[in-house]
Amino acid sequence: MNPAPALLAALALATALATGGRLLAWQTERAQDAGSVFDLLLGESRRAFAVHAFLKADAYYHSGFYPSVFDLAQQADNSKTHLQESIKSAGAEHHDHDHDAKPAKARDWLEAFGSHFFPSQHRHLEKFGDEREILPWLRLAAELDPHRIETYTVAAFWLRDRLNKVNDAEQFLREGLRANPQSYEILYELGRLYAENNRDVPRARAVLELAVERWLKQEAPKADPDKLGYGQILAQLADLEERAGNLDRALAHFARLKQVSPAPETVQKRIDELLARQGRPR
Amino acid sequence: METLTIDNLRVEYRSRAVGEPVKTAVKGLNLRVAQGEVFGFLGPNGAGKTSTMNVLLGFVPPTSGTARLFGVDVREPIARQRIGYLPEQTYYYKFLTAEELLRFYAEIFQIPKAERSQRIDAVLKLVELDHARTRQIKTYSKGMQQRAGLAQSLINNPDLLILDEPTSGLDPIGRMKVREIIQRLKSEGKTVFFSSHELGEVETVCDRIAILHQGELKTEGRVSDLLREHGTNLEQIFLKIIGHPPPP
Amino acid sequence: MNTIWALAKIVVLEMVRRKDFYVLFILTVLLTGTAGSVNLFNDNSIVRYLKEICLLLIWAASLVIAITCTARQIPAEREQRTIFPLLAKPVTRAQFLLGKFLGCWVATGMALLVFYVFFGIVSASREQHWPVLNYLQAGLLHWLMLAIVIALTLLGSIVFAAPSSNGTICFVCTAGILLLGRHLNKVALGLTEPLQSLLYGVYFAIPHLELFDVRDLITHNWDLIPWGMMVLATLYAAAYTAFFLTAAWLIFRRRPLN
């Protein structure tokens, strides 16, 4: 019997198995790196879908009312969604941002007629707890693009602030932190959660100080650093220390905040108040 | 009274392709078919038989000339109220059962509801499909499908039956059955107008025939007269008329 | 009318006996069920995303049913030659077209009814309320939109011989109008003449199918649409449907069948 065909077949099988195993390992490695099945299915386009999912959450916040890309093109400032504005203005009512509750004037009869068939009035989720409706889209946005920081901070804000789901908010932020370990924004949001919801001063302090450290490392060298984000962290830290009775530390944070704040006089007022409480000269 | 009248009928087909010549399928055809006649419409492939039938059935508008059924222009749908049509092959909604198919056509003919079931039963019995009436047509054999076709052509008890190659592809029993039905319709005083290549069959059942060749009517007359005049069978007459050399 | 109705019944029967609808319905149920089973921050009362997904699937399925069912009607009649014994009966070409239109419309209407009942069950299972009138308005508008799409596809099936090309063209046109129709006027504003007038002309000429898409109103529990507007929408749909059917008849009435 000629052994050549059997040897050839064995060689082919061995090559196939070796190649297959290598490919499988490579694929697994890639999948782990991306961390999501969406990466395999959509590739880089998943980021665009993530943006869409995020905008969808904003549209849900407005009960389906949302300007189209064509409307947005005619508006001057469209860089931030209302959801983002909400957490930036946390503590204040969301309704204070600038928009008109009345429908825009129709350009023609078709537009006027059509306005009866889709949400054409600016409206926010009003009933308590309705904010939960935006969460699926934020979850999807995070799945599609785990490196989109706003998704975690916005979702965490709504979870802890409006839906009283502090544990879920913390878990989601930690997920975000695993995907984005250098993010000072997520650390800031986590610090707020510990400070405002859990009243866990040592953890809040640790996390917020880490946020400051990250900010200094990433943003300080930049020509146009995110001063607002830095200011928010410092303000949070100062408030935390003030509440904890560490007025010296609070004063130190306020002093740094004054340097980056767009309203240094307001910060100075707070510094003066603290100094007065300490009985020290201004 | 004449059931079918064709006067100076001309049928032309214009091609959509630029530069393609107009094809003339029928050239000035004149034909009369009287009530109660069995009329054979003969001709080789491409002679214009199908084009003439298409005009009679309203599928193709005549280029010029007129065609009338029971005195009504064939372009009027009402002209087809009293006719039955059996195409060469069975073209029916195969997802329907024979009974559903007949009920559908009965509705089209606006047969009164009270009569419908009775009529369907009678026709199915006539074509011997009574036992398979609730089976979908797609499960039928070719012969059964042809019989279902025959049944639909009879559902309105037509005064004129137009049959296009009615025995094509049928086994001998099927052919015999079709012949029987034609004879029976004739005995009821109905008119049958049919095209066929089965000249022996035409000779058996037809009263009169017309032979068409290259769009022109070559001969028309009673079968018995033609046979006597030429002193041979219909096949030989046919070959002679279309100018085909007779077989050795 | 009897003839038209008889023809319509055959189309409905065909759809009932084909598997298209069942496959699409099962797919909708499965996908909605999968979306509903996702754990979202341990909150089972989140419903709007589920309503949106379910309605999106219903819309997609209804368009597939309407366009594929209609696109194959006349080409299949010609290809299988069933049109010959049919038109050899006292049936006018107009009756034939109307019968096909009515059949496809009624068939998709029946499918819509099943889909919307399923949607109602999904929605009620989480929201604990059932705004029947809102669903009725949404279903009705959806059905009216499908009338326009079916008439357009029927016209297409006379112009284009292959059902696949007709189906694709109709899908592209329908999706294009649904996505962009509403914004053409805004796009036109940014153009120079004569393109501006041209695009404005297109904007006013096309049937605005997106008017009938009230999914956002249903998803976000908006109020009922004024009934007067519903009447106007019905007239709008009827006008376009009649236009497409008339155009189809004008082309088909003298077309030789051979």
* Binding-site residues on chain B for chain C (CB distance < 8 A): 13, 50-51, 54, 57-61, 77-81, 83, 85-87, 89, 91-96, 100, 104-105, 107-110, 149, 152-153, 162
Exposure of B29 in the CB half-sphere (CA atoms within 13 A) = 38
Q: Between C64 and A15, name the one with better pLDDT.
A: C64
Between A5-14, B65-74, C57-66, the lowest mean confidence (pLDDT) is in A5-14
- Binding partners of B (≥3 Cβ pairs within 8 A): C
Q: Is C124 on the interface with B (CB under 8 A)?
A: no
Per residue in C107-166, pLDDT (tens digit) is 999 999 999 999 999 888 888 778 889 999 999 999 999 999 999 999 999 888 788 888
Q: B113: nearest CA in chain C?
A: C2
**Which of A66, A122, A133, A157 to substitute to test the interface with C, most C CBs within 10 Å?**
A133
- Give yes or no for residue A90 having a pLDDT over 70: no
Q: Is A118 on the interface with C (CB under 8 A)?
A: yes
What span, in angstroms and rounded, lies between the C-alpha atoms of C76 and B98? 20
Per residue in A13-61, pLDDT (tens digit) is 888 877 777 777 666 555 544 556 666 677 677 788 888 888 888 888 8
Pairing of strands B208-213, B38-42: parallel
Please report, for residues B10, B55, B63, C78, the alpha-carbon distance to residue B23 in angstroms, rounded to integers and kept in the order given: 11, 16, 11, 22
* B abuts A (3+ Cβ pairs < 8 Å): no
In one letter, which amino acid is B1?
M
User: The tokens of A90 are what?
Assistant: 């946390």
Counting the structural domains of chain B, the total is 1
- B61 SS3 class: coil
| Dihedrals phi, psi of B208, to nearest 5 degrees | -135, 160
- Residue-level pLDDT at A93: 40
Q: Is C191 on the interface with A (CB under 8 A)?
A: no
Residue of C254, C257, C65, C95 lying closest to C161 (CA atoms): C257
User: The tokens of C90 are what?
Assistant: 């006292």
Q: With a CB-CB cutoff of 8 Å, which residues 3-32 of chain C face chain B?
A: 3, 5-7, 9-10, 13-14, 17-18
List the CATH number of the domain containing B2.
3.40.50.300
What span, in angstroms and rounded, lies between the C-alpha atoms of C247 and C148? 13
- B209 SS3 class: strand
Per residue in B54-90, pLDDT (tens digit) is 999 988 889 999 999 988 998 888 888 889 998 887 6
Number of H helices, E strands in chain A: 14, 0
For residue C222, give the nearest of A60, A110, A119 by CB distance: A119
User: The tokens of C114 are what?
Assistant: 């099943």
Class (C level, CATH) for A182-282: mainly alpha
Per residue in B85-104, pLDDT (tens digit) is 988 876 778 889 999 999 99
Mark yes or no for CB contact C43/A108 under 8 Å: no
Q: Is A102 on the interface with C (CB under 8 A)?
A: no
| Dihedrals phi, psi of C51, to nearest 5 degrees | -65, -40
- Binding partners of C (≥3 Cβ pairs within 8 A): A, B
Q: Is C85 on the interface with B (CB under 8 A)?
A: yes
- Give yes or no for residue A135 having a pLDDT over 60: yes
Residue B30 structural domain: 1-75+196-248
- Residue-level pLDDT at A224: 84
User: The tokens of C245 are what?
Assistant: 């059917």
Per residue in A267-278, pLDDT (tens digit) is 888 888 888 877
In terms of average pLDDT, the best of A41-50, C31-40, C141-150, C172-181 is C141-150
Mark yes or no for CB contact B85/C88 under 8 Å: yes
Give the count of beta carbons closer than 10 Å to the beta carbon of residue B162: 26
- Give yes or no for residue B240 having a pLDDT over 50: yes
User: The tokens of B96 are what?
Assistant: 């329907």
**B53 vs chain C: nearest CA distance in angstroms?**
10
User: The tokens of B170 are what?
Assistant: 């049928």
Give C102-139 as a DSSP string.
HHHHHHHHHHHHHHHHHHHHHHHHHHS---HHHHHHHH
What span, in angstroms and rounded, lies between the C-alpha atoms of B161 and C49? 62
Please report, for residues C56, C107, C175, C212, C236, the alpha-carbon distance to residue C112 in angstroms, rounded to integers and kept in the order given: 13, 9, 19, 14, 21
Please report, for residues B76, B206, C51, the alpha-carbon distance to residue B231 in angstroms, rounded to integers and kept in the order given: 43, 18, 85
What span, in angstroms and rounded, lies between the C-alpha atoms of A184 and A219? 10
For residue C81, give the nearest of B91, B107, B152 by CB distance: B91
* C abuts A (3+ Cβ pairs < 8 Å): yes
- List CB contacts of C59: < 8 A, sequence separation 6 or more: C142, C213, C215
Mark yes or no for CB contact B95/C86 under 8 Å: no
In a domain? residue B183: no
In one letter, which amino acid is A232?
Q
Q: Which part of chain A has CATH 1.25.40.10? A: 182-282
Q: Is A117 exposed, middle or buried (0-12, 13-18, 19+ CB in 10 A)?
A: buried
% of chain C residues with pLDDT over 90: 55
For residue B87, give the nearest of C2, C9, C84 by CB distance: C84
Label residue A101 by pLDDT band (50, 70, 90). Answer: low
Please report, for residues A145, B191, C50, C246, the alpha-carbon distance to residue A48 in angstroms, rounded to integers and kept in the order given: 9, 73, 22, 43
- Segment C39-43 shows an average pLDDT of 76
- A221 SS3 class: coil
In a domain? residue B233: yes
- Residue-level pLDDT at A255: 85
Please report, for residues B191, B245, C152, C239, the alpha-carbon distance to residue C230 in angstroms, rounded to integers and kept in the order given: 56, 75, 22, 14
In DSSP terms, B26 is beta-bridged to B11
User: The tokens of C190 are what?
Assistant: 């940014």
